[in-house]
Chain A
Amino acid sequence: MIEQLVVEGLAIGACYGLFGIAVAIIYKTSEVVNFAQGEMGMVATFVAFHILTVYHVPFWLAFVLTLLFAAALGALIQTCFLRPAKDPTVLGLIIITLGAEMLLMGLAGWKWGAEQKDFPFILSVQKTREIAPGLELNEWSMGVFVLSAVIMLILFLFFRYSRLGIAMRATQQNVNAAKVMGIKVERVFAITWAMSSVIGAVAAMFFAARSVLDPNFMMEPFMRAFAAAVLGGLTSIPGVVAGGLIMGIVENVFGYRWPEWKPIVAFVVIVLILTLKPSGLFAKHFVKKV
């Protein structure tokens, strides 16, 4: 029984981790906490839903089109909302992304209405397969495991070997030095947002397959994923994934034991851990020099 719970928790955790990565790569490069991430994923999922139900295209095509849309959306939000702000404070940036969140949520509600819809996803939560004696895994979980492993591998290679990835890391370390080295910092930010939006959209489609599709459906997963990312330390991608997995297991096991406290058990754990380790479990804690 406990193994089953842990495995399911790991699957949800991997999904949190995937979404947490989306939050973390924006925070890593531009030190913006993107509260609109969930709603960006939500709008992308609605676009996928729209393409699938109105135009009846094959799923893979809708998937690719959605990812293109997500990339454009991310770059657009960065260019239109964050770039014009001059020397914003941390609070200012949080307010901008919260504003973008409300904007996107309002637009989605205006276009698609508030009623709940089923998202026609190709991997089902119901179809299960026995992978070991007494241990079942549904198609959805397998998809999450494979896809998050692939995305993490791509990201690792991207940040390690590609020119753009190195430019992103340089921007993160020191914006001014990066500018001197000839990196177009603003463009790097826009590309980062596009990338993050794509990863977020993938994770959001998985979340939609597990629950229902409505303009609020990403609120809870986003907060869990964000909390998981904070738990892992926001700046290290393996840390974020580990945070997501821990979150998934804690939530699933405790949630099974005390179902009525499921929504908050994760937050209690996080507040406790942050009190002991203020920068999360896996990030180095930088003490500010005066």
Chain B
Amino acid sequence: MDMKRDYYEDIELFQSNTVFFWTVVLMACLFTLPLYVESYNIYLVNIILVHVIMAVGLNILVGYTGQISLGHAGFFAIGAYGTALISMHLHMPFVVSLIASGLIAAFFGFILGLPALRLEGPYLAIATLGFGLTIMHVIGRWEVFGGRMGITVPPLDMGVPGTPLSFVIEGDVKIYYLILVITILMVICARNLMKTRLGRAFVAIRDDDVAAEVMGVNLTVYKTLSFAVSAFYAGIAGGLYGYVVSFFDPFTFNLILSIIFLVMVVVGGLGSILGSVLGASLITYLQFDLLKNVEELPYLGDLLVLVSRKWLTVIGLANFSSIALGVIMICIVIFEPLGMFGIWIRIKKYWKTWPF
């Protein structure tokens, strides 16, 4: 929107004093959140933060590099299982196991990126979808991973478990602060990464891969790197997710989850970090809070119960969230392909010159 006059202005973290002010206000709100929000809602905020990391990572792949992935739940699962198993069996501190499982996910991302070099559009969609399903089934078969019964995550330990150095973090609020710090780091990292040579190469591939190759962007390196970076984010998000929910089974990471992740990115806005944050927050809030108890909503809830009694079944009303998400997905592509970020840009443009 504003004209950028030199490179430094483009890479600046806070592009104006207004941005700086509101960022500080947001940070202050986030860090004091547990003081005035009850415990269940902190759990919800934790899931939102995990999904923010996930959506930012997926946006690097889908929004910036222009590849399609319907298998990110697979990387999410690798992160979740990796973190839990490494800290359980190898007795590693939390940070080590988290980063290690992020790197394992990144390695799988690199592997998936190899066939993706030659595939595009629907073919890439089916390959990534197959990857996600394969991961889910492999995890469900092997006893090491707890099989179909799922596993319970060991306590979150910042030190070395089982030794005097052990330093266990418990409770939603403490985990919240940890996740909040990691999320902020990851988001800033992604935002800065997209302003570097790497990010520009990704965008060049998205806009036209042939032209990018002619300009000297090595497609093999950057496409696989994009998959790896995105998978790393997904792995980290998965690792944190494990500690938030403390128990999960392989079927948590199904195709629907991959679709929901993609929806977060598209609803938030492709190719925009702010958009992913907004999209992940909105979709997670809708899915885990608002639409879960839809019959308790004022007016709309009563109406829906009435409709259900008359023509449908009241017990099936739980499926309403699926309907609402479907409608949101369709509407966002038809009416606002840039997502929430596009809406934000339009509002900003409108008010900038107001009242003219």
Contacts and interface: CB of A to CB of B under 8 A. Distances in A.
B241 to A, nearest CB: 22
Contacts of A110: 308, 312-313, 316-317, 319-320, 323
A57 B148 CA distance: 42
Given A106-B322, A109-B322, A110-B313, A91 B270 contact: yes
A62 to B, nearest CB: 20
Max chain B C-beta neighbours (<10 A), residue from A86, A89, A93, A271: A271
A92 B332 CA distance: 9
Contact of A227 (B119, B126, B318): B126
Contact of A274 (B127, B259, B308, B316): B127
A113 B315 contact: yes
B3 interface: no
B266 interface: yes
A274 B116 CA distance: 9
A98 B127 contact: no
A98 B259 contact: yes
B143 to A, nearest CB: 12
Given A98-B329, A106-B320, A110-B313, A230 B134 contact: no
Contacts of A279: 123
Contacts of A93: 333
Interface residues of A, number: 54
Interface residues of B, number: 52
Interface string A107-124: 111111110000000000
Given A95-B262, A106-B320, A111-B316, A223 B133 contact: yes
Nearest to B270: A91
A24 B270 CA distance: 28
Contacts of B159: none
B220 to A, nearest CB: 14
A105 interface: yes
Nearest to A289: B210
Contacts of A114: 316
Contact of B323 (A33, A102, A261): A102
B255 A270 contact: no
A34 to B, nearest CB: 10
A84 B332 CA distance: 12
Contacts of A278: 118-119, 123
B325 interface: yes
Interface in B279-330: 308, 311-313, 315-330
B131 to A, nearest CB: 7
A99 B329 contact: yes
Interface in A78-108: 81, 84-86, 88-96, 98-108
A127 interface: no
Contact of A88 (B211, B312, B316, B333): B333
A251 B138 CA distance: 17
A260 B141 CA distance: 8
A280 to B, nearest CB: 8
A32 to B, nearest CB: 9
Given A110-B308, A278-B119, A84 B334 contact: yes
B326 A100 contact: yes
B133 A230 contact: no
A102 B329 contact: yes
Contacts of B326: 98-106
A108 B326 CA distance: 13
B329 A96 contact: yes
A270 B126 contact: yes
Nearest to B135: A264
Most buried by A among B134, B266, B322, B326: B326
Contacts of B114: 275
Nearest to B121: A90
A251 to B, nearest CB: 13
B126 A264 contact: no
Interface string B125-148: 111011101100110010000000
B171 interface: no
A200 to B, nearest CB: 17
Contacts of A98: 259, 262-263, 326, 329
Given A91-B62, A274-B119, A96 B138 contact: no
B312 A85 contact: no
B337 interface: yes
Given A98-B259, A264-B134, A264-B138, A106 B68 contact: no
B335 to A, nearest CB: 8
Contacts of B141: 260-261
Given A94-B125, A105-B319, A110-B323, 18 more contacts: A86-B334, A90-B68, A91-B62, A92-B266, A96-B333, A103-B327, A106-B320, A106-B321, A106-B323, A106-B326, A108-B319, A110-B317, A111-B311, A113-B315, A223-B129, A230-B123, A274-B118, A280-B123
26 contacts: A86-B334, A88-B333, A91-B266, A94-B68, A96-B329, A96-B334, A98-B326, A100-B330, A105-B322, A106-B321, A108-B319, A110-B313, A110-B323, A113-B313, A219-B255, A223-B129, A230-B122, A230-B123, A261-B141, A264-B137, A268-B130, A270-B127, A274-B115, A274-B118, A275-B114, A278-B119
Interface of A: 27, 33, 81, 84-86, 88-96, 98-114, 215, 219, 223, 226-227, 230, 234, 260-261, 263-264, 267-268, 270-271, 274-275, 278-280, 288, 290
Interface of B: 62, 68, 114-115, 118-119, 121-123, 125-127, 129-131, 133-134, 137-138, 141, 210-211, 255, 259, 262-263, 266, 270, 308, 311-313, 315-330, 332-334, 337
Q: Which 6 A-B pairs have the closest CB atoms?
A: A99-B329, A267-B130, A103-B326, A106-B322, A109-B319, A102-B326
